[in-house]
A and B are shown apart, each in its own frame.
Chain A
Amino acid sequence: MRVRDSFNSAVNSLRHGKTRSVLTMLGIVIGIASVIILMSIGQSAQDYILNQVQGVGSNLIFIIPGGTVNGRFQSPAAAQGIVVTSLVQNDVNALSREPSISDVVPLVTGQADAVYGDNDLTVTYQGTTANFFPVRNFTVANGYPFTAQDVAAYNHVAVIGSDLAKTLFGANIDPVGQNIRLKNIMFRVVGVLAPKGTGPGGVNQDDMVLVPITVAQSEMLGITYFNMIFVSANPAYRISFVKSRIESIMEQDHGITNPNKDDFTVETQQDILSLLGNITSVLTLFLAAIASISLVVGGIGIMNIMLVSVTERTREIGLRKAVGATDRDVLQQFLIEAILLTFLGGVIGIALGAVVVTMAWLVLSHVVAAGWTFAFPLSAVLIAVLVSTACGLAFGLYPARQAARKSPIEALRYE
């Protein structure tokens, strides 16, 4: 029997049992749609996160306290609850003298309640220097950023995020010139940041408070070390070169001779992008793997229905064999039916997935996160079609073999 005739017979069989065909396909439709949706949304989330990191600036290098183990990256010591005090003012001074570095910005961070009148909000405050604003592309929309003199003079001044300004002061009070209380210390608001959105690590940058690092270290945290140092590379030098210079300056400064024993970690934007890219890819694949369980369930559903179909059509199989169909002809016909079912299920699943992904994009980009991009990876579509067709082959083979092995005499006698 020609494949084309088998195909036509399969189409006829499916057409004559429309309801059953649709219900049989449902498992595959849901499975494929789930895989498509999760892979697409995962891709969008990955793009979104990476864009956020890229938005920080490509010449930015981060120095994090705590080292790596045998050169392998591990989560920063601070993230594990370990206080590492290795980043100090000497490092900032030494790095500032390096010609391949344009700017060095130390940073300390903590949490406190920001209070104005009866309003208060728990915020993340960051103590930093005046060059933080140009290095991190933070613009002050109202007022001015604090200056190097403010930092040197331990002035109690603060620049606050736009959301925080709205929460504390409402629409009618100009925050600039008002006093807020942080850890029972009064700060005069000198500026309000332009809206910035969510930053790397999912921090809402519009809720933060920036204060002079001198005040934060001595009066709020009581520390002399830094939580992080931002380094802005001189554009005349390659980032990798600047990174290696930072490492050697820091090692020299800290008296470290074995790089494996570094008490700091230097990360470029590229390092972070590749790390985040890896993490989000693994997460996306993990989600897709979970979704693919429903594909297996759908495939078993198809096998089940095909087995019922083989039993119901026993006399048909007997007749076809009596008039000349070989085992291979019968196997081919039933296998094509199963593959056609799963392939159609795959196509419908892709379409359904596309609709849901588009709706998710509309909602997420307008309501949840500006900058959420639409992603519909072709690899997901290709995988979906291949997997669904493979499901047809895998789960259709057993029923098709059962059909092919039927004896024509027994099949013709079947009631």
Chain B
Amino acid sequence: MTEIEVRDMKKDYVDEDVVTSALRGISFTIDRGDFVSIVGPSGSGKSTLVQILSFLDRPTGGSYRFFGKSIDDMNDRELAHVRNKEMGFVFQSFNLLSRLSVYENVEIPLLYAENVPAGDRKKLVEDAVRSVGLEEKLWSEAGRLSGGQKQRVAIARALVNKPNVIFADEPTGNLDSKSGAQIMGILDDLNKEGHTIILVTHETYTAEFASRIIRIKDGLIESDTPVETPRRSREDFFK
């Protein structure tokens, strides 16, 4: 089932009459349950692409359909609703509220969710935290955790609303290789459970955890190739 359908997508930034094209006509589709890496050098347009795919920004040309519905047909409130219900976010810098507990951080998306009774939140948060192996840290202050633990909390926060797609933007960028391997392992497990994973990275060996790699350069797709044998083990990560 096609989850993401991009056709001739363009994105121009205008700053004092100077137009910069970050995306210059990109087309691809991503099916539900795919694990796709988007790679490219700095300034290639990969971050812009993911911002649009994750409804944080709108394209200036072309079309983008998410589960068949065009981004052009949705207002900002609807985009926020889709982000909350269908998407999870994992950032390179974790973006945790350091003074809040693990529980309170993971609960944040549920605060904005419709149709999640307050009584169900506790179980959803506990399940998400357990799935990343941090149940003993549930009430610890997020700011006091290690980098790897913080990223696991961020993954739990991304999972808690049971989204279809998880966007992971350089999730191992701030981690040592051991923690990085754990995070990639968790993302791989989530993919096996049916979540679509869209991974943005500039590291080739991290990208090869995916089953497909889209390479972006100068705002265009340079290549879109399947990974014959994805790295799916911790040992592979250290190679």
Contacts and interface: CB of A to CB of B under 8 A. Distances in A.
Interface string B119-143: 0000000000000000000000000
A247 interface: no
Interface string A313-326: 00110111111111
B56 A409 contact: yes
A315 B100 contact: no
Contacts of A318: 95
Contacts of B112: 1, 320, 323-326, 329
A5 B76 contact: no
Q: Range of interface residues on chain B?
A: 20 to 34
B239 interface: no
A316 B81 CA distance: 18
Contacts of A12: 100, 104
A5 B56 CA distance: 24
B6 interface: no
A4 B111 CA distance: 10
B10 interface: no
B100 A322 contact: no
A318 B56 CA distance: 10
Contacts of B109: 323-324
A9 interface: yes
B104 A322 contact: no
Given A315-B95, A329-B112, A409-B57, A323 B100 contact: no
Given A12-B104, A16-B99, A315-B95, A322 B89 contact: yes
Nearest to B104: A12
Contacts of A409: 51, 56-57
B80 A319 contact: no
Given A326-B77, A326-B80, A408-B56, A319 B108 contact: yes
B95 A9 contact: no
A399 B77 CA distance: 21
Given A315-B95, A409-B51, A1 B56 contact: no
Given A408-B56, A409-B56, A412-B91, A324 B97 contact: no
A5 B111 contact: yes
A319 B91 CA distance: 10
A320 B76 CA distance: 14
Q: Which of B89, B91, B108, B157 has the most CB of A within 10 A?
A: B108
A315 to B, nearest CB: 6
Interface in B39-68: 51, 54, 56-57
Nearest to B96: A319
Contacts of A326: 76-77, 80, 112
B95 to A, nearest CB: 5
A255 B110 CA distance: 90
Q: Which of A321, A326, A327, A329 has the most CB of B within 10 A?
A: A326
Nearest to B101: A12
Contacts of B37: none
Contacts of A315: 95
Interface string A14-37: 001000000000000000000000
Nearest to B112: A324
A26 to B, nearest CB: 22
Contact of A324 (B85, B91, B95, B100): B85
Given A315-B95, A409-B56, A323 B104 contact: no
A158 B51 CA distance: 99
Nearest to B84: A324
Given A1-B111, A323-B83, A412-B95, 18 more contacts: A12-B104, A318-B95, A322-B54, A322-B89, A323-B84, A323-B109, A323-B112, A323-B157, A324-B80, A324-B81, A324-B83, A324-B113, A325-B80, A325-B112, A326-B80, A326-B112, A327-B76, A412-B56
9 contacts: A1-B112, A2-B118, A4-B118, A324-B80, A324-B109, A324-B112, A324-B161, A325-B112, A409-B57
Chain A to chain B: the 4 pairs with minimum beta-carbon distance, closest first: A324-B84, A324-B112, A323-B109, A16-B99
